[in-house]
Amino acid sequence: MIIGVLGPEGSYSERAAKLWMLKNDLGAAKLRYFEDIEDAFFAAATGETDLSVIPIENSIEGSVGVTLDLLREDGAVISGEVVVRIEHCLLSKGSPEEIRVVLSHPQALAQCRHFLKTNFPHAELRSTGSTSHAARLAGEFEEMAAIASSEAAEKYGLKVLLSNIQDRKENHTRFIVVRAEKSGKYAPTASACKETGKEPGKIRGKCKTSLIAYLAKDRPGALYELLGAFAKRGVNLTKIESRPSKKELGDYYFYIDFEGSDSDALIKDALEDIKAKVDMLKVLGSYPALGNSEA
């Protein structure tokens, strides 16, 4: 079994994948590292990897736009999720006063925006494909620092100059586990994705479903009607996010996560109802909701 992640070694995606493997007894799986999120995603969609673990949302900086856009493409569905605590460190071969360049992934730079503005107002900021790629590059010159994990420091022989430098101490990233749509091989099993049944009559518990809906512009109340399909069945939304259609300003896709599985009669019924209300519906899959896996 091969699991794709954003590389090189020492990335938070790698940590997420290892946590996923641990929780799912997949110790024998091998990791394959990709240069960017898009490559890791398409590797799963085309079957080059069995699964890929992809960042989708951070508690400080919000959604990873490219991941939301990729989910609209054909070929991949969601098999699970995993949450990783993010403690960014400032890594370098040099000392703080030597630093002229700070490298990291744009999401990490944004999560440390205030830190950088206050402490390194004149540093040049370089965007890299991942935090671990930044760490690897920062090994070249003493005037360079990377924002990355402590694992990356170890991996690339850098000193941890400062730790926990993001603008809010509490910082988590949610990753999704994607697989080829055609392959049922790594779909969540029915038992993994089942309601707890502890609270009869309430759709709460271990399962979560994700979808993308498109509502043509200028249909007043269309989103309200869509949400009504959930509300009148007592289905709890855990997330709603809009993302540009890229066709014109003010035209959006809606990304919705909710509790329950598409194998439940109630959710099936809700999805049928929604299909009739929207201009496009893509169900991205039902999967066990692990919550803060690494809190």
Q: How far is the CB of 104 from a second copy (least distance, A)?
A: 9
Applying CB under 8 A, among 73, 190, 234, 279 the residue interacting with a second copy is: 234
Applying CB under 8 A, among 119, 194, 252, 294 the residue interacting with a second copy is: 252
User: Which range, of 2-10, 13-21, 46-54, 242-250, touches a second copy by CB under 8 A?
Assistant: 242-250
Contacts by 226-233, CB closer than 8 A, 24 or more apart: 226/254, 226/274, 226/277, 226/278, 229/270, 229/273, 229/274, 229/277, 230/258, 230/270, 233/203, 233/266, 233/269, 233/270
Handedness of CA 56, 57, 61, 63 (dihedral sign): positive
Closer of 2 and 233 to a second copy (Cβ): 233
Is residue 200 a contact residue for a second copy (CB under 8 A)? no
HSE-CB for 120 with a 13 A CA cutoff: 25
Question: Which candidate, 160, 41, 153, 1, places its Cα nearest to that of 90?
Answer: 160
Q: Would you state the structure tokens that stand for residue 256, as one six-digit string?
A: 């919705």
The answer to whether 118 is a known catalytic residue is: no
Instruction: Give dist(CA 295, CA 291) in Å, integer.
Output: 9
What is the end-to-end Cα distance of the chain in Å, rounded? 27
Closer of 126 and 194 to a second copy (Cβ): 126
Interacting positions 156-175 with a second copy (CB under 8 A): 167-168, 170, 172, 174
Closer of 184 and 250 to a second copy (Cβ): 250
Closer of 30 and 246 to a second copy (Cβ): 246
Number of residues located near a second copy, criterion CB under 8 A: 55
Is residue 221 a contact residue for a second copy (CB under 8 A)? yes
The answer to whether 42 is a known catalytic residue is: no
User: Amino acid identity, residue 270?
Assistant: A
Chain residues that interact with a second copy, rule: CB under 8 A: 36, 38, 57-62, 65-66, 83, 106, 109-110, 113, 117, 124-128, 167-168, 170, 172, 174, 218, 220-221, 223-225, 227-228, 230-231, 234-244, 246-252, 292
